[in-house]
Chains A and B, each alone.
Chain A
């Protein structure tokens, strides 16, 4: 009997086809006669097959890896799957989750509001108030864009019309106001403190200084008594007490304050900064000092900031008057040189000024 070692070598030789002649026939004879040997051959054969399978596969893998290395993966990738933006990928991936989350949030919010009785409360007044605020804010912002100086602009007297203030330049019906008050107007009226309204025509505008000169053309207009105030030619000092009269509502309102800076919004040298309470509708009102000199014309206030109103300096009003070609005027525009307000108390000053200050109504 041969040893296992010899037998195994014999089987290996047989499986490799190295046996020949008598050896081969002996081997086959042995397989037939000895079943346990035959089983050994079969088992060994299977194991060898397993081994060679392993070898083949390992070889195949290494070959494929070589091929893989030689490929330009990035180029193939770009061709087959162009990179979509990360956001789009995320969106695609999570859109359903997002939709569900949004729906849940919506339901939760509605349910909460419903259960707390939010919908049953009357909120219409809030809405109206809010809207009015938004409108006035929008107006002042618009004015800011139109001009370097921002203006609170005109408060609407009635829906569909704007209002501002104006004051007499002379006793024969010339009135000065802000350009932005009358800008884009179809027709302009002025109304005095007695409630009489007169039709006016625009005779001069100066958008740069935000000034407009109007002339009352209404036949019902009677000449005024001579103006009580004069126009100050020089600049006023910071700290000077001032007051203004305007029409923030349908009635003349007196406001009192002081010049707080020599220059206006963003260093605008045309205007003063004035600390004075003004509201939409005050635009175009005169700014007077204690002695009754007009030192400026209110034209705006800074949005979102308290106590910063702006007034165009009176010297620019005079410049504008000079710039009007006198030949084109029906009546001569003469600026008053005599001040009758100095030394009077504020009450008396107000009474004297009352007839010369107009509400400008723009349609």
Chain B
């Protein structure tokens, strides 16, 4: 034993003497939070010598002797000094990220970039926003989160799409929706190829329904041209980059999470309609009292049937989420499954989705990576059947009866839903205009319960990629397919409103859309002393093919199988089939250059060749330049103790828009049948000059951070001018078509955005943060060519006019009601007649002594003057609280439903506001004397109402019980309320209607949900 020890001592001495001459020091540098290796960290030691860590975060140096002091640094991390005294263990240095907004790495088009080097306007929305929301689609959670991003729901229908506008709308006839990119791969949703041609279905499925919000790690909103120009032809409306959750490298233990939520929804607002006795009294006073009610009988009618309540319900929604994330030495993986089942608050409506998502990445060889992203799912939406937009007098749609829900609101409250024996009541003596044949009238409760209006979408979003790093170069190839099969089912039986005239009508339609995409990029990254260069070049190709087919039949003898037995229909409509193909070839290039970590420049160029334009105009070229200056790094601000960062940004460039129908440049014909033979009708006339719509965009911005992350401010000013506007221009009779898509005119958007977020309290057990954003946008058509004053809409309610905003409302100015004793000779005539007491008064704006269509004026527009959001998070020990408000100010909305429900007559119910209509004894100015007819078909200012609102979008309370460490799971339970209240003067259900016309949109819901999240 003694000998052994002596030997050991001698060996140790020998080793020590050797170490005088050469000592190898090895170690690894990792991120303290994620455990991921830090590549390229600098390790400096004696006499200014240094090395950088390799791909695995490893370094090795030879020193003469120990101890040796190592200074370890990496951009965005706190530098650390480690003195090495012995080599008993491997050196493992954990660097902690500086919690500075500018040190965030943000996802940009075709790559990532440190925010400190960014020149563009990019806003990041983190996953907690989606975790706190019970919205089934991500747009529902984005509202109010980003300055300048305005989300307006199309309706309250579960799974319905929203309108998203980034810095206002640029275009009239081309799409204004932003481009979505999921995990670096364009999620292309062609707005022009969305339906199957079957019609008669009220709602369309939200394209974002294919993405489960809980799969999202972060969203980057690219707002200005420096950020969006790399997407060239599709960057004009802004770009939304979605990054899904991935396994974290170094996190060997798989993280398994399960979440369940259960919620109840009910309508957030009821319209105040007349009850049975009020309606019967109204009929007796002003109309013919068809029911023949006496005063006693009227009193006995009481409230009667509340048809609004009869078609609304308390709806149940539930969702299951399962996710598994993790990594191994050479791979990382994420898998999730989601099932959502959301009943709508209107009978027989709802949304179901199951969704599987996987994201796997392997390091096949040292420099070779390979990955697969795939989402497969199926969503199903049940909505309303619709009466379809037909602008002629006898159409129910033109009379404001757009669907069975609206029809329910119009049902006289003296009519019961059910007969005494419990069967549906199909007798309604007041209905004689649209939905009655003989003594058989339709019943909206039956309509909603028995009609079918389904959108079923099966989708696969997939791509595979491989990257190879060769020195400072990285080659990447990505190939992917987005494949969607949309099926639309429609059936209205013989007893329903839509099937009444045809003894039942049904149909089914399919659309198969396949979008193949290829991307090949070469990137180069190099740091040369004070210079940093990051360059990218590549080629991308997108090929889209969309086919559709639909068939409709009517006159059924057996309705049991509904749309699954269309052969039973005696009459067959002309089958609709079609194909649409398009290609987009693009060359992309970008160079980012940073000098002294202070001065940044980004130059981007994209050339797109689109098959959607005529041969001579297919290429579009989109350059941009961005500059930014990290002012805080200058010597003169070195002593500014409370300044974390200050950056100024300036960008400018061109982007384009090609979101128009395929073949719009060529002459085309539509098929039909006429007299038993096939027929063709000219659908479009060729335009050889059709070319890109181009938006020139400029942005001046500043990012400011103060007090060690306590306060962050982002301010942006922008100006955008869209030229060669793609506009449907009315055509002369000789052309054979009513309109043609042409490049006409300009639209300008200019605005200011401010976003502030602050940490109010940051203590160990008490953290409170708040953020607010505010945006103002001014939208104006600055040129309309020769086609000024294009009137649009079923009620001719909107106009495109130079000097006005897109979506401007156009109508008469309502001035009140002619009162008893008023000098009517001074009033302008209406339809050649002098108004009398009780008639509505309108402004004679052109002072020609008469009121007519020429007196119509701009009554506001759908463009809000201000959009804003506010959110706050409070964490107190195990409890967390989250509150989110969103608001809009200055926009107008045409309340077509309100106009319909204040139109008095002897068939339909009306709003209780008509009780305050003018009578000889009630000198009201709100509504004229009840009458079955209107003086004008034009809309007037009463129904172009303020759409300003402030909504409490979300209020969540969560609790994470403190469990023993040995417990194998963590738990969070929460309760959340959505749309708890809305402050608005709008008189309809909800001021958020994306089309700008509320013709009976599905009402929005207030939801209370409870949930649990378990993580293993």
- Whether chain B is bound by chain A comes out as no
Instruction: Please report B residues at the A interface, Cβ cutoff 8 Å.
Output: none
Instruction: Please report A residues at the B interface, Cβ cutoff 8 Å.
Output: none
